[in-house]
Amino acid sequence: MKLLKFKYKGKKYTGILKNNSVIDGKTNHEFSIEDITFLPPVNPGKIICIGFNYRKHMEELKDLATREPTITLKAPKSVLGHNGIIILPPESGDVQHEAELGIVIKKGGYKIKNPKEHILGYTIVNDVTARDIERKMIQWSASKSFPTFCPCGPFIETEINPGDLEIACKVNGELRQNARTSNMIYSPEDCVKFASNFMELEKGDLIATGTPPGVGKLNAGDEIEIKIAGIGTLKNSVGK
């Protein structure tokens, strides 16, 4: 099942995708997918980013990489919906895309043992990062927390096995990232367990599970498409 949040004629809705239509969860009213404005499918209390969860990404960023996957946080207000515009901040001259599988938490917990019970579903995340700021600071959250730096969506897919999904990122039609979730060091379920060892997870939290190699700079006017098999395609443009 594909869950989403959207706006129609100024009013916000929560619904499900059915064929090429969107069904309002409260009234069962049907909307054309062409007529709605996508909102971020989740309003997280926390956005937890798993860093360096693909070995080849460790290799391409050797000056930043940790020896094993790590954790940083991203401001909740950085979320952006499908088709939204990523705004380049004047503080950075090197903003980069990071295509990632996102996990949406259904049930909170601390030191979670059975992660499946706590996962609502999976979405697409672009963990946009100001790489020059990330290199300057020991703590990475500032580089990831600008408004619009967490595009996510379009949907939360609740019925999918995340163990071996293809992730592909194109910028202006050029393929930059292409990998499978089976290449992760920590599986999606392990990411939930790992994050919950350090903080209590809450309903609605979003975990970005790390990016594969191929990250690159974004410029004003760029068009980004991130596709994860079985979930959909997240599209965003870049502005100033």
pLDDT per residue as tens digits for the range 114-149:
999 999 999 999 999 999 999 999 889 999 999 999
Question: Shortest CA distance to 77 belongs to which of 49, 108, 43?
Answer: 43
Residue range 75-91: average pLDDT?
98
CB-CB contact of 119 with 103 (8 Å): yes
Mean pLDDT of 100-125: 98
**Same-domain pairing of 98 and 116:** yes
Comparing 59 with 229, the larger pLDDT belongs to 229
Q: Is the pLDDT reported for residue 66 higher than 90? A: no
> Which residues, other chains included, contact 68 with Cβ-Cβ below 8 Å and sequence gap of 6+?
52, 185
Are 47 and 93 contained in the same domain?
yes
The predicted model gives 187-216 an average pLDDT of 98
Is 83 in the same domain as 157?
A: yes
pTM: 0.97
Same domain, 30 and 126: no
225 lies in the same domain as 196: yes
Domain of 1: which CATH number? 2.30.30.370
Domain co-membership, 60 together with 32? no
Exposed/middle/buried for 182, CB within 10 Å: 0-12, 13-18, 19+? exposed
Share of the chain above pLDDT 70, in %: 100
Average pLDDT score over residue span 39-67: 93
- For residues 47 and 20, membership in a common domain is answered with no
Q: In terms of residue numbers, what domain contains 171?
A: 40-239
Q: How many domains does the chain have?
A: 2
pLDDT at residue 198, rounded to an integer: 97
Instruction: Tell me, yes or no, whether 76 and 110 share the same domain.
Output: yes
- Whether 20 shows a pLDDT value over 90: the answer reads no
59 and 15 together in one domain: no
